[in-house]
Amino acid sequence: MHHHSRHHHHIRLPIRGLLHIAILSILRDREVHGAEIGRLLEDRYNIVVPRAMVYGLLRRMERHGFVFSQWSVEESGPARRIYRITEEGLDYLKDYLRRLRRVKFLIERLISEG
């Protein structure tokens, strides 16, 4: 007899590995300031991400050349960093989504067989 229930908490679903893709998808629509990205991740994808993790991902993607940021100084309130996706980021996103579609087929097949 197998005791699977004891081990279920070890299963790591690949949500974390898809966070940068979710962020790039958000930025594909429009430029966004950092604080807003966390809210959009929750609204659009129902994932709650610590702000520090969002900023860490943004910094890493900026180093890779996928996003570009600049300070936006508005009349009222503090200066905020605005993020936008680059051409390279768009290419990466398109390519990644193509691969995800293949994985989606596999996931749906596995679930339907379960």
Whichever domain contains 34, its CATH number is 1.10.10.10
Q: Quick check: is 36 in a domain?
A: yes
**pLDDT at 15 (0 to 100):** 73
pLDDT over 90 (residue 8): no
Number of residues written out for the chain: 114
Residue 43: which of 57, 29, 64 has the closest Cα? 29
Q: 34-65 pLDDT, tens per residue?
A: 889 999 999 999 989 999 999 999 999 999 99
Give the whole-number percent of the chain exceeding pLDDT 90. Answer: 72
**pLDDT at 4 (0 to 100):** 52
The packing angle between helices 51-63 and 34-45, to 10°, is 110
Task: Supply the range of the domain harboring residue 21.
Answer: 12-113
Q: Quick check: is 83 in a domain?
A: yes
Q: Quick check: is 57 in a domain?
A: yes
Q: Quick check: is 38 in a domain?
A: yes
pLDDT over 90 (residue 95): yes
Q: Quick check: is 50 in a domain?
A: yes
Residue 26: which of 100, 98, 83, 71 has the closest Cα? 83
Q: How many structural domains does the chain have?
A: 1
Q: Quick check: is 7 in a domain?
A: no
Average per-residue pLDDT in the chain? 89
pLDDT over 80 (residue 98): yes
Tell if the pTM clears 0.75, that is, is over it.
yes
Q: Quick check: is 88 in a domain?
A: yes
pLDDT over 90 (residue 6): no
Q: Quick check: is 2 in a domain?
A: no
The pair of structure tokens assigned to 78 is 């503090």
**Cα–Cα dist 56/27, whole Å:** 16
**pLDDT at 26 (0 to 100):** 98
pLDDT over 70 (residue 91): yes
Q: Which residues pair with 93 in a beta bridge?
A: none
